Amino acid sequence: MSELKEILKQEYKKKNNTVSPEMLLRMVEEIMSLSSSQPLREKAKSKQQEMFKKQTLTHEAIPAPSVSELGWASLNSNDDGAAAKREELEQYLRKIPGSDLRIKLDNVSKMLTDPNHAKQLMSFGETQGEKIASTLGYLVFLKTLTTVITNFNASSAGFNFEAFLAVLLGGEQIPAAGADTIADITADGVPISLKLYNEKTLKAGGSYNDLIGDLIKRKSLMRYIVATKTLEGKDLQRQGQIEVYQYDLTADNIIEILYRSASRENSDRIRLPASVISGERGVDFKIPKLPGVDKIEAKFFDILKAQIGNEPWLTDLQNELGYLSDNNLFRGNKIARAGFKRHKVGTGVPTKASPLLQFLTNFLEEKQIEGVDPVELATLMALAQERAVKIYFKAVADLEKVGEGLGSYAGVEESRNFYNGLDTKQKRRALMMTLGYVTSGNQYELTRADIYGIEALAGEFRVLASGQAGVNIGGIEIGLEAVQSVFDEIIDDVNRIVFEIFQELSNLSTNIQGYFAGGLEDESKADAAIDSAQNIGKKTEETKDIN
């Protein structure tokens, strides 16, 4: 065993007390290479195999990404590590059948409440391997969701919930920096705003100006997925119920919903100018389109390329600059990115504290690019940025002209009746003239009662997605007890060995971390880690019989 402990000591020196999945796999391979060359299947004793079968398995045997590291929730598309973490979660969640969130939640809910249905769901797949993969999909869903909801404070849980649903729906999270929408994720081309609240404090709302900004776009739809949690207990032992509600705010229904909602302020936002209602000001005009930050980025690099030429390192610069994700380099409006920090406006000359200058200095050194002055390059980039954002501010000015000279505003009732008589294209234009949109800083809010009764608020206008029978699209019981109860129900002699491998991996990681944290003093943890590594090899060999 001294040779095996030496492996742990060497890894301790190299990794500085951290254990990665790659490290675990390498250590297992090294430990197993010290075993006899005799086939593992022949070495395994029947008594020892029987002991494995009787082993009590806990939720620790269910694999799940490390939510606390937020690796799979990263918004940086250039981060290979984050992409790998996301794929780790996707490979499990894609096994849950369903074309949309409502159907997926229904399948998971039935699995939790009906053991026979659970076993039927687990039977998906032509081979035993595919059936095991299906089993893993449901269990990873429950364990990861439980961790997201119970292991974080309100803001962290909300962010992780966004990432979790984005992966489940096969969608993408939208970076907060530079976003030109209130949507948190997109899935199948549909923008989705996510909310996670305690059931008693449920509400949904935000900037009226930003919501209307989304609804006047061509799709004129914002889907809301609102989840409520009712939990008991403390910390990781919390358990309870998650209920999920879904509705669509559109250019067709938004005025009616706000008009009928509980808040009087909502009603005041929807008032239209008397000149529009009388026909003095028409609603048949072209809506100025605000360019997104991706369009401004493209314009910026086109201008820069024209200034410095087609340099071979320009692509590397574009990839590493992080234009869409690194908001620390920029000043001004997040969408427009008015310019780089600490540059003289008009000249683009950087000061010594310029974050861009520091970035370029490091970039040129790392890429060993000679003959390029970082100050001159930073100056050119700053001037290119100021030219690029002009397309945004011109569009803003055009939008503001729509709200000029509108005169006095009509009452709420009159405005609502006029609006509901317009077609969808006219409604999108009329929204730009509402009192809430032509004045800045306005908010709207739907209460818990508003959300539960959203169909009544919408009246004759559609507010639910196709195939959706009600605003509540599903409920899920979460908590480690719920996970364990489902786990116990679907374990059988065939898939047990797979979960034993995952449990041994968990034991291996825990004991190695403990051994490292103790400064290599507690040899019992090293021995336990070695035993787990050897068991992993034996059990993995046994899975060759599963087909």
Residue 42 predicted with pLDDT over 70: no
Task: Identify which of 230, 130, 207, 210 has the alpha carbon closest to the alpha carbon of residue 444.
Answer: 207
Residues 144-203 have pLDDT tens digits of: 777 766 665 656 666 677 777 777 787 777 766 556 688 888 888 899 998 888 888 888
Most confident of 158-162, 334-338, 417-421: 417-421
Does residue 16 sit in the same domain as residue 139? no
Residues 26 and 156 in one domain: no
Reduce the DSSP state of residue 132 to 3 states and report it. Answer: helix
**pLDDT 10s digits, 459-498:** 999 999 988 999 999 887 777 777 777 777 766 655 566 6
**Ordered alpha helix ranges (H), 411-522:** 412-420, 424-431, 435-438, 448-452, 454-458, 480-490, 496-517
Q: Among candidates 170, 263, 245, 253, which has minimal Cα distance to 211? A: 253
Between residues 24 and 245, the one the model is more confident about:
245
The predicted structure's pLDDT at residue 170: 78
Residue indicated by tokens 């059990």: 539
| 515 and 366 in a common domain | no
Q: Cβ(356)–Cβ(381) under 8 Å?
A: yes
Using the predicted structure, report yes or no on whether residue 448 has a pLDDT greater than 90.
yes
Give domain status of residue 442, yes or no: no
> Is the separation of the CB atoms in 133 and 123 below 8 Å?
no
Q: Is the pLDDT of residue 257 over 50?
A: yes
Q: Could you please report the per-residue DSSP string of 49-75?
A: HHHHHTPPP-GGGS----GGGTGGG--
Note whether residue 356 is domain-resident: yes
Give the pairing of strands 443-447 and 203-207.
antiparallel
More confident residue, 454 or 115: 454
Q: Is there a contact between 199 and 228 (Cβ–Cβ < 8 Å)?
A: yes
**Segment (H or E) for 527:** helix 523-542
- Across residues 398-419, what is the average pLDDT? 86
Task: Flag whether 120 is in a domain.
Answer: yes
State which of 378, 398, 418 marks the end of a domain.
Answer: 398
| Residue entry with tokens 């009192």 | 435
Cα end-to-end distance, the chain, whole Å = 35
Residues 6+ apart with CB under 8 A from 201: none
DSSP 236: G
Which domain range does residue 329 map to? 293-398
Q: 30 versus 10: which is more confidently predicted? A: 10
Question: Position of tokens 């962010």?
Answer: 159
Within the chain, how many helices (H) and strands (E) appear? Answer: 26, 10
More reliable by pLDDT, 477 or 421: 421
pLDDT at 204 over 80: yes
Residue 75 has pLDDT above 50, yes or no: no
72 with 214, same domain: the answer is: yes
Instruction: Look at residue 52 in the predicted model and tell me its pLDDT.
Output: 40
What are 492's two structure tokens? 């059988």
Same domain, 383 and 517: no
pLDDT at residue 1, rounded to an integer: 45
Q: Which residues pair with 446 in a beta bridge?
A: 204
CA nearest to 312, candidates 368, 385, 384: 368
With a pLDDT cut of 90, the percent of the chain lying above it is: 27
Is residue 222 over pLDDT 90? yes
3 state DSSP class of 463: coil
Confidence of residue 78 (pLDDT cuts 50, 70, 90): very low
Q: Does residue 100 share a domain with residue 17?
A: no
Q: Which of 347, 374, 398 is the last residue of a domain?
A: 398
Answer yes or no: do 228 and 320 share one domain. no
| pLDDT exceeds 80 at position 256 | yes
* 99-108, 142-151, 263-272, 399-408: the lowest-pLDDT one: 142-151
Residue 542 has pLDDT above 50, yes or no: yes
Answer whether residue 71 is part of any domain.
yes
Residue 189 has which token pair?
């081309």
Average pLDDT, the chain: 77
| Domain match, 525 and 543 both | yes
Identify the burial level of 272 via C-beta atoms within 10 angstroms of its C-beta, where 0-12 means exposed, 13-18 middle and 19 or more buried. Answer: buried
Other Cβ atoms less than 10 A from the Cβ of 133: the count is 17
Which tops the pLDDT comparison, 383 or 37?
383
Three-state DSSP class for residue 241: strand
Please, are residues 462 and 252 in contact by the beta-carbon 8 Å criterion?
Answer: yes
Q: Is residue 279 part of a domain?
A: no
Q: Which of 2-11, 206-215, 246-255 has the lowest mean pLDDT?
A: 2-11
Does residue 10 sit in the same domain as residue 139?
Answer: no
Per the CB < 8 A criterion, the answer to whether 147 and 141 are in contact is: no
Range with the largest mean pLDDT of 21-30, 149-158, 201-210: 201-210
Average pLDDT over residues 286-306: 84
Mean pLDDT of 57-65: 62
Least confident piece of the model among 7-21, 286-300, 301-315, 449-463: 7-21
Q: Do 199 and 81 share a structural domain?
A: yes
Instruction: Say whether pLDDT at 407 is over 60.
Output: yes
Domain membership of residue 10 (yes or no) is: yes
**Mean of pLDDT values over 358-366:** 93
pLDDT above 70 coverage of the chain, percent: 67
Q: Which of 27-41, 173-187, 363-377, 487-501 has the highest mean pLDDT?
A: 363-377
CB 378 within 8 A of CB 340: yes
1 against 159, higher pLDDT: 159
Structural domains in the chain (count): 3
Tell me, yes or no, whether 518 and 481 share the same domain. Answer: no
What's the rounded Cα separation, in Å, for the pair 292 and 415? 31
DSSP string for residues in 300-317: HHHHHHHHH---TTHHHH
The whole-number average pLDDT for the span 30-41 is 45
Provide the pLDDT for residue 521.
72
Residue 231 neighbours by CB distance under 10 Å: 17
The answer, as to whether pTM is greater than 0.85, is no
**pLDDT score for 238:** 74
For residue 390 the two structure tokens come to: 């002009």
Predicted local confidence at residue 54, as pLDDT: 42
Q: Which is more confidently placed, 85 or 422?
A: 422
**DSSP 8-state symbol, 410:** -
Q: Give the range among 17-31, 415-429, 475-489, 516-530 with minimum mean pLDDT.
A: 17-31
Q: Does residue 511 carry a pLDDT above 80?
A: no
Assign 23 a pLDDT band (cuts: 50, 70, 90): low
Q: What is residue 470's three-state secondary structure?
A: coil
Is the model's pLDDT at 430 over the cut of 80? Answer: yes
Query: Looking at the structure, do residues 38 and 69 belong to the same domain, yes or no?
Result: no
The number of beta carbons lying within 10 Å of the beta carbon of residue 114 is 13
The answer for residues whose C-beta is within 8 angstroms of residue 204's C-beta and 6 or more apart is 193, 195, 224, 226, 445, 446, 451
Q: Final residue of a domain: which of 364, 381, 398? A: 398
Residue 79 has pLDDT above 60, yes or no: no
The secondary structure of residue 269, as a DSSP letter, is H
* Mean pLDDT, rounded, for 336-346: 86
